[in-house]
Amino acid sequence: MCVGQNKHTRHSRGYETMGLKIWLDDKLVDEADAKISVFDHGLLYGDGVFEGIRVYNGKIFELEAHIDRLYRSAKAIRLAVPMSKDKLISSVKETVRANDVIGGYVRLVVTRGVGTLGLNPFACENGAVFIIADNIQLYPEEFYENGMKAISATTVRNHPLALPPQVKSLNYLNNILAKIEALDSNVAEAIMYNHEGYVAEATGDNVFIVTDGVIYTPPVETGALDGITRAVVIRLASQEKLQVMERNLTRFDLYVCDEFFLTGTAAEVIGVVEIDGRVVGDGKPGPITRLLRKKFYSYAHGKEK
């Protein structure tokens, strides 16, 4: 299901397109002219950072929080973002307006830039920035109503000392391998565990469970991204007087919990009703999951603060 009422369709899926306006470095260009060098280290080595940001009713969701996280990710890998925060924020807004995105998605990418074929990042003189604003492919609506199935991935989450989980890096191969496992099993998601066997995250979302009325989520130190949606959901839960605790979770915890849900930019709040063939709760999204999805929808669409 695609969110949004904008005028664009994607030629990569065999449809006619009217062409997007893409922000490239310092200006908007036509989609056909939005080209990155084959010597860009973002392409050659996955050397860069990105943010995925939602647009609801023409408003960009938690934009400043996303920009702050982008800069933190870049700083952690010693990547100089070639724009100020204010300029980057205004560029995102301009790209959304230029593409008439009312409900959709923004992909903001900063790469190391053009360099040599060697690994040396300091051979790249200037970082590159591009911004895409378009529709987004979401889970089918029945997943939100009835819940989704997941498996435990055999692919282990990157060790935190190899790549800090707080860095939203262009190198997503670790997550992609786990996603392949899910698709091979004919389910939508896979849960990734860290090197110690604790739950880290799903392939693109944060993990929450509910046991005896308490909400638990893994701390970022286990290998989970410090998700923007995760933070919003924790805040909304606290406003509802629900207890939220960060705690190491095991596979056993997922098997015996009362409710299980994921949060993320694309997924928002979505219930998991089966993990590794074991039914979660009564096999339907639970009351806390449904409440938080409703509260998140209202918050995202500006119906409450």
- Return the axis-axis angle of helices 63-76 and 85-98, rounded to nearest 10°: 130
Domains 2-137 and 141-300 fall in the same CATH topology: no
What CATH number does domain 2-137 carry, 3.40.50.2000, 3.30.470.10, 3.40.1110.10, 3.90.550.10?
Answer: 3.30.470.10
Q: Is the pLDDT of residue 12 over 60?
A: no
Active site residue 305: no
Q: Say which range, 134-143, 245-254, 263-272, has the weakest mean pLDDT.
A: 134-143
Residue 5 pLDDT grade (very low, low, confident, very high; cuts 50, 70, 90): very low
Residue 18 pLDDT grade (very low, low, confident, very high; cuts 50, 70, 90): low
Number of neighbours of residue 92 by Cβ within 10 angstroms: 22
Q: pLDDT tens digits, residue range 178-191?
A: 999 999 999 999 99
Q: Which residues contact 241 (CB under 8 A, 6 or more apart)?
A: none
Burial class for 46, CB neighbours closer than 10 Å (0-12, 13-18, 19+): middle
Please state the domain extents for the chain.
2-137, 141-300
CB-based contact 51:69 (threshold 8 Å): yes
Q: pLDDT tens digits, residue range 52-94?
A: 999 999 999 999 999 999 999 999 999 999 999 999 999 999 9
21, 149, 168, 295: which is the annotated catalytic residue? 168
Across 105-127, average pLDDT? 96
Residue 302 pLDDT grade (very low, low, confident, very high; cuts 50, 70, 90): confident
Our separate counts of H helices and E strands in the chain read 8, 17
Res 11: pLDDT: 43
Class in CATH terms, 141-300: alpha beta
